[in-house]
């Protein structure tokens, strides 16, 4: 299966976008979004620019929202749980220069 971007109208319809997480810090929402994308889960962050430009509105608008396609909700939740458990954490002495190529 070829990886498609969220803006790719030529790919299959994966379902409506579903909010699966909210964060008052847009940067944290983007980090989690990147983690999902690395796991090939189509994801986007919404309202991040609004929250970044108007931090006092963050609570009122519900923070930055992490959304995934409806067909990937369960997979996204598993990836988020693994992230929160620390499964993707690097050791303190991790050296990217010595990382094995993929």
**CATH number of residue 21's parent domain:** 3.30.70
92 lies in some domain: no
78 lies in some domain: yes
99 lies in some domain: no
Q: With b meaning 16 or more CB within 10 Å and e meaning fewer, what string describes 12-36?
A: eeeeebeebbbbeebeebbebbebb
97 lies in some domain: no
The confidence score (pLDDT) of residue 88 equals: 87
Domains contained in the chain, number: 1
The confidence score (pLDDT) of residue 2 equals: 41
Q: What is the pTM of this model?
A: 0.76
Question: What percentage of the chain has pLDDT greater than the value 90?
Answer: 63
43 lies in some domain: yes
The strand pairing partners of 67, in sequence order, are 19, 44
């Amino acid at each position: 299966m070829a990886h498609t971007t969220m803006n790719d109208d030529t790919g299959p319809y994966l379902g409506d976008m579903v909010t699966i997480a909210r964060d008052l810090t847009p940067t944290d929402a983007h980090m989690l979004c990147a983690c999902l994308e690395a796991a090939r889960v189509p994801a986007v962050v919404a309202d991040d620019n609004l929250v970044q430009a108007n931090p006092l509105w963050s609570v009122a608008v519900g923070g930055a929202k992490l959304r995934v396609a409806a067909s990937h909700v369960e997979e996204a939740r598993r990836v988020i749980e693994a992230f929160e458990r620390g499964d993707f954490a690097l050791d303190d002495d991790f050296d990217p220069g010595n990382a094995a190529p993929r």
